[in-house]
Amino acid sequence: MTSPSYRIAVIPGDGIGTEVMPPAQKLLELAGTRYGFSFDWQELEWGCEYYSRTGRMMPEDGIEQLAECDQIFLGAVGFPGVPDHVSLWGLLIPIRRAFRQYINLRPVRLLAGIESPLRKVPAGGIDFLVVRENNEGEYSESGGRLYRGMPQEMAIQESIFTRFGVERAMNYAINLAEQRKGQLASATKSNGIIHTMPFWDEILRDLAKDHPNLTVSEYHIDALAALFVLDPARFDVVVASNLFGDILTDLGAAIIGSIGIAPSANLNPEKEFPSMFEPVHGSAPDIAGQGKANPLGQVWAASMMLDHLGHEDAGRDLIAAMEQVLTETDIRTPDLGGTATTDEVSDALVTAFESLSPAGVEK
């Protein structure tokens, strides 16, 4: 049997995206060597610098180019000088929509060796998944601006919730919860947002009727945010709309130690199109170019890509290497209280990976 080769679109993007991408690629290569597969990297220099040269975040046929690839591996986009709505709507959102990446899956798990800023949380004391609806909701193009520059200037932004879109995100979350502890929490705000959120809740209740073994809880988003801090151990799977999921997962990243660790998978669950894997964090212009970027979020995203490609053993090894560095050394970047550079953490990850027997067992 020939060993598989995966064509991966690599978009390092801007700022620290270009710094955390090479270490993650290096570990993916090592994983491939160990488990008998390889990567054919399609390096794409798209992002804000490309925009400043061409007026576009990606070429006109960008989506067609990506469609030729098995998966997309992204760093981060956004840089001062290019408005954030331009960078987001010129690259990430079109990709998520064109390839029906309607699930944004974000693990919130406290790794061994990291101290949560929350008091007395042991490793494993925070371990849940956030399923963020990734194609519609509050991130819509519906609306407009009127009377620009005049005293009566106004802006309207409409949210779009379709039964089809909400159901498929919730079904994905239900399925995940059934494979875990059977507990699903839903983020709502049906007291204040009186059309879309009651609709969201109704759909959840309808779907839940067919899953009597599932424990379903509804939380207003404000109370849910507080519970992420006060009692994160209660959560198993959390399902949320596009905006709520986005905000909740930055908080999730904070309680597991740093936004520099948290990963994110934009999934087309049916695998009809490429999915896209990226860290939760952005391009961090405040630390770009200083060697301070934590590569762990990008490496964890690489591990999720390996899982999606069906190489769960290899994915587990990447996490095991991360945990080994965190538990057995004090090599960590400043966001985790250390003094190490991105390169030093990357070298330590390679050493740790090489010291593991396949599937995460230390030699």
Our CB check for ligand NAD shows the closer of 19 and 236 to be 19
Q: Residues, the chain, total?
A: 363
**What's the order of all strands across the beta sheet hosting 38-43?**
38-43, 5-13, 71-76, 275-279, 263-267, 103-109, 127-133, 237-240, 183-188, 215-220
Shortest distance, position 286 Cβ to ligand NAD, whole Å: 5
User: How far apart, in whole angstroms, are the C-alpha atoms of residue 76 and residue 94?
Assistant: 15
Query: Which element (helix H / strand E) includes 355?
Result: helix 342-355
**Local structure of residue 116 (DSSP, 8 states):** -
Long-range contacts, 309-313 (Cβ 8 Å, 24+):
309/6, 309/37, 309/70, 309/71, 311/31, 311/35, 311/37, 313/35, 313/358, 313/359
Residue type, 66: L
Our CB check for ligand NAD shows the closer of 27 and 174 to be 27
Give the residue carrying structure tokens 């073994």: 213
Shortest distance, position 342 Cβ to ligand NAD, whole Å: 8
User: How far apart, in whole angstroms, are the C-alpha atoms of residue 133 and residue 135?
Assistant: 6
Shortest distance, position 112 Cβ to ligand NAD, whole Å: 19
Our CB check for ligand NAD shows the closer of 84 and 330 to be 84
Whole-angstrom Cα Rg for the chain = 20
Helix (H, G, I), strand (E, B) or coil at 58: coil
Shortest distance, position 336 Cβ to ligand NAD, whole Å: 8
Our CB check for ligand NAD shows the closer of 310 and 337 to be 337
Binding site for ligand NAD (CB under 6 A): 16, 20, 76-79, 84, 87, 92, 259-260, 278, 281-287, 293-294, 297, 333, 335
Our CB check for ligand NAD shows the closer of 293 and 319 to be 293
Our CB check for ligand NAD shows the closer of 18 and 333 to be 333
Count CB atoms within 10 A of the CB of residue 81: 9
Shortest distance, position 6 Cβ to ligand NAD, whole Å: 22
Our CB check for ligand NAD shows the closer of 197 and 304 to be 304
Shortest distance, position 184 Cβ to ligand NAD, whole Å: 26
Shortest distance, position 219 Cβ to ligand NAD, whole Å: 24
Shortest distance, position 3 Cβ to ligand NAD, whole Å: 32
CB 128 within 8 A of CB 239: no
User: How far apart, in whole angstroms, are the C-alpha atoms of residue 106 and residue 109?
Assistant: 9
Our CB check for ligand NAD shows the closer of 174 and 345 to be 345
